[in-house]
Structure 1
């Protein structure tokens, strides 16, 4: 009887890869750029989140200066996030052969590497593309964007740190031009192809940045072709995110003849629009900077908030709550710390660029303060409360 041979089990069908540049040096070169973009996006995103939703202990610690702080921070956040999208695609193209290695787990270090890659790819894809959709205010999901986006950002940061930790022994070999692994790969003749890939990647990143960053960096606004906002397009030459119609205040604005600002404090009072206009008016040059990434300087005039607080008998260091005519919306009630409330640049604005506020910009009165997210520059103000 012939010996029976047990047939060998073939490995699972996997893609085969014959392309070049799927090597460690290229992966490290692209990874450094992607890591830098993600780091900038993460840090500026944390700044943005805590300016919009400060914890109780930080309310009075947040500074109102520099006046352009939030504009620069949020502009960098959106610009670095958009720039990271082509970087992520190229990084995945370079490393995707390694996603199909067999066996899938070879050691504890390899298992940690695979976990970190799964977290990185999933979290980075979610953060970049949900953030991109946020810039056009499109939310095709059932959850609240802000808390989920913020939570996944920390997941992405943790995945990145884990990936760097488990990959560093190998990454170090390809980090510099004179590193051992880099010298070995250079001898194999792929350096020219790698340079071409990186030049093409730089061109792609430059193109998406140039055609979007003008929405916040106004010297480049003439190239603002792909951004959802142009800094000059909108009522009174200033964009708006939420119109009076979208906020549901158009019916209330039709009866503005009876509008009175209510100021609640130790010495409460009310003022009509003509009475507000009769008070000392102050002029400031401040930007509106939106979480979606666009921003622009504008000329505002109105009554200083600190003058209204003083008239209401507010104690030193008092906070302020502003309530809008808007009946619904996450930001219809806004609170600001004492540093903002007592800053001489913080106004209850009545005019914009020399004209009476339009309905979409917050007529009859709105808040404008330095170094403040646009969603907290409350429009259609009905009541101010001393806290």
Structure 2
């Protein structure tokens, strides 16, 4: 008896929700989200890891600029998740098209789609885990996330270029067309789009409160709440985690290395003229919160050391082995009147987890660069 194997056939799909018009309608909103996410991500990366040509001229204003751009970056990335899932659902029948490649253009289209989907999923997945500070992978998140952003953007540009005729044909509300699929009755397009946008609104409303404080009461799904933490401000890295033991006020000294180097005790810093500033701590994970800080202006410490006007400043923390235990202040930050070596937070002396005895607070600066447990400033 001869065994007969039936020929392989691609599965059949029906329903008008897998058509080009639906894919285009969702795709243009997804494009808005990912372009906003990409642009604000570039701003974040340049402020956190400035290229050499920009390092000396980073802008210190607007003071809440990083808070705004990083909040938008995380919010648009989260909003892109349901949009990406819906977009993938509308077009997944095309994965089963046969023959797999019909022409050079069709092959490039499929290649760009594969690269686009893979990079988008990885970008959003790693970004979401970063908001929770969970890194279950062996690579450096920042560099890989940055590279994936460029990979995704390049694949998106190529895909749009190849699909431009189809996008144009199905862009307007009155257009019709399908992906050569049977047009059987099912849930209508309006219901699907309403559900997708409701999902986008829900995830945005329940996570944006971690940076947009008026929505803080709805902050149900975000991993951080801006009001939870010592002295009313969240903490990413505690003194214990940083390996900073209890600081003896009598033994601690601030060293300012410059043309006229000197040292100050904590009492000596307190005796200097104190300034106040209301500035946010804004972290790459997406949360931010404004607070009232007071301390000594960095520019006054530099003037006392005879620092040139255009000099950068290296800030050295007592933290042991952290990736940001040594940071630099561009002259635009160092000379800004809002940049403080802060000694007090919300009217009280800094707690150990907030950097006692002294920390940097500067406008328009990522939270990881607002160095805590400072004991040395070096004029470069």
How much does 1:192 deviate?
A: 7.3
TM-score between the two structures when normalised by the length of structure 1: 0.94
Q: CA RMSD in A?
A: 1.8
How much does 1:125 deviate?
A: 0.2
Q: Secondary structure at the match of 2:18?
A: coil
Once the two structures are superposed, residues 334-363 of structure 1 have per-residue CA deviations (whole angstroms, 9 ceiling, x without a partner) of 011110110000000000000000011010
Specify the alignment match of 1:60 in structure 2.
56
How much does 1:257 deviate?
A: 2.5
TM-score between the two structures when normalised by the length of structure 2: 0.95
Please tell me whether residue 381 in structure 1 is matched to residue 374 in structure 2. yes
2:307 corresponds to which of 299, 308, 314: 314
Q: How does 1:176-255 map to 2 (within 5 A)?
A: 176-179=172-175, 181=177, 193-249=188-244, 251=245, 253-255=246-248
> C-alpha distance in 2, partners of 1:11/1:111?
24
Asked if structure 2 preserves the Cα contact closer than 8 Å seen for 1:279 and 1:303, the reply is yes
Count residues with an aligned counterpart: 375
Asked if structure 2 preserves the Cα contact closer than 8 Å seen for 1:299 and 1:352, the reply is yes
How much does 1:20 deviate?
A: 3.5
Once the two structures are superposed, residues 117-165 of structure 1 have per-residue CA deviations (whole angstroms, 9 ceiling, x without a partner) of 1111100000001000001110000111000110011000000000000
1:115 corresponds to which of 91, 98, 111: 111
**Structure 1 unaligned residues grouped into runs of 5+:** 1-7
Specify the alignment match of 2:169 in structure 1.
173
Specify the alignment match of 2:326 in structure 1.
333
When you count helix as a share of all residues, which structure comes out higher?
Answer: 1
Asked if structure 2 preserves the Cα contact closer than 8 Å seen for 1:62 and 1:339, the reply is yes
Specify the alignment match of 1:286 in structure 2.
279
Asked if structure 1 preserves the Cα contact closer than 8 Å seen for 2:255 and 2:264, the reply is yes
Once the two structures are superposed, residues 193-228 of structure 1 have per-residue CA deviations (whole angstroms, 9 ceiling, x without a partner) of 111101001110000000000000000000001111
> C-alpha distance in 2, partners of 1:379/1:264?
18
How much does 1:15 deviate?
A: 3.1
Asked if structure 1 preserves the Cα contact closer than 8 Å seen for 2:16 and 2:186, the reply is no
2:261 corresponds to which of 263, 268, 278: 268
Q: 1:254 to 1:304 in 2, by over 3 A?
A: closer
> C-alpha distance in 1, partners of 2:68/2:219?
17
Asked if structure 1 preserves the Cα contact closer than 8 Å seen for 2:16 and 2:184, the reply is no
Asked if structure 1 preserves the Cα contact closer than 8 Å seen for 2:21 and 2:176, the reply is no
2:291 corresponds to which of 293, 298, 322: 298
1:164 corresponds to which of 156, 160, 166: 160
